[in-house]
Amino acid sequence: MANKGFMWHKDNIGLALATRSGSQVIFKELIKKNYPEANSDFVNTETEWKPTIKVPEVKDLSVTDCSHLDFAVIFRNPVERFKNSCLRLSCSVEEGLNNLDNIHFMSLKKMGVLDCVNAKYFPYSNSGLNDCCTYLGLDVTVTLPEDGDMPTLSQEQIDLIKQAYSYDCEAFSKL
């Protein structure tokens, strides 16, 4: 089974870790707060994206049912998130669309974090990240990472991405 991502969960509140969403910045702040001496690095390769720290609060979404948990999700426009994944992996749109099981391209739906009644969604913005920090009890200010030169898409490519991420796009439009 492909890895579906990870979640930080402690004291009945958590954060889903989704690639290209800004959640890694918040995760590192959670580690600083709860494990000040620990390393908060990530394995970040073409096929893996996961925290290196091994603590009970880090849950593998491949084996964790999060449908009953309270947690935050940073929700980025699915097309922009996809473009950023292409940039990160230096691949074409077609290669990304042919690799949707890869953690870098996996939809939030496939991760299992869109069907949870207690999930709280925050937009991918500086204010969204900081509102999420407040929700998680963090007294910090964070900023979005720089995106770099993302690929320019044709309308046909945008339509293909929207089709592949249709559930994510529908949910995003309701934010």
Asked whether residue 1 is assigned to any structural domain, the reply reads: no
Would the pLDDT of 132 be above 70?
A: yes
Give the tens place of pLDDT for each residue, 21-66. 989 899 999 999 999 888 878 888 777 778 888 888 888 888 888 8
C-alpha 72/C-alpha 159 separation (Å) is 28
Phi-psi region of 137 (alpha: psi -120 to 50; beta: other; left: phi over 0): left
Asked whether residue 111 is assigned to any structural domain, the reply reads: yes
Q: So what's the pLDDT on residue 111?
A: 87
Asked whether residue 73 is assigned to any structural domain, the reply reads: yes
Range of the domain at 119: 6-173
Give the tens place of pLDDT for each residue, 5-15. 888 899 889 99
pTM of the model: 0.89
> Do the Cβ atoms of 53 and 34 come closer than 8 Å?
no
Q: So what's the pLDDT on residue 76?
A: 95
- For every residue of 49-111, DSSP letters joined together read EEE----TTEEETTT---TT--EEEEE--HHHHHHHHHHHHT--HHHHHTTTTSTTT--HHHH
Give the tens place of pLDDT for each residue, 80-97. 999 999 998 999 999 999
Query: Shortest CA distance to 129 belongs to which of 19, 25, 2, 13?
Result: 25
Helix (H, G, I), strand (E, B) or coil at 14: strand
- Tell me the pLDDT of the chain averaged across its residues: 89
Q: So what's the pLDDT on residue 93?
A: 93
C-alpha 122/C-alpha 39 separation (Å) is 26
Asked whether residue 34 is assigned to any structural domain, the reply reads: yes
Distances from the Cα of 134 to the Cαs of 24, 56, 87, 127, 129, in angstroms? 16, 22, 30, 10, 9
Give the tens place of pLDDT for each residue, 110-126. 888 887 889 999 999 99
Asked whether residue 47 is assigned to any structural domain, the reply reads: yes
Q: Based on the structure, what is the number of domains in the chain?
A: 1
Q: So what's the pLDDT on residue 1?
A: 46
The residues pairing with 121 across neighbouring beta strands, listed in sequence order, are 73
Token pair for residue 100? 């949707």
Asked whether residue 138 is assigned to any structural domain, the reply reads: yes
Asked whether residue 115 is assigned to any structural domain, the reply reads: yes
What proportion of the chain, given as a percentage, has pLDDT over 70?
98
Asked whether residue 145 is assigned to any structural domain, the reply reads: yes
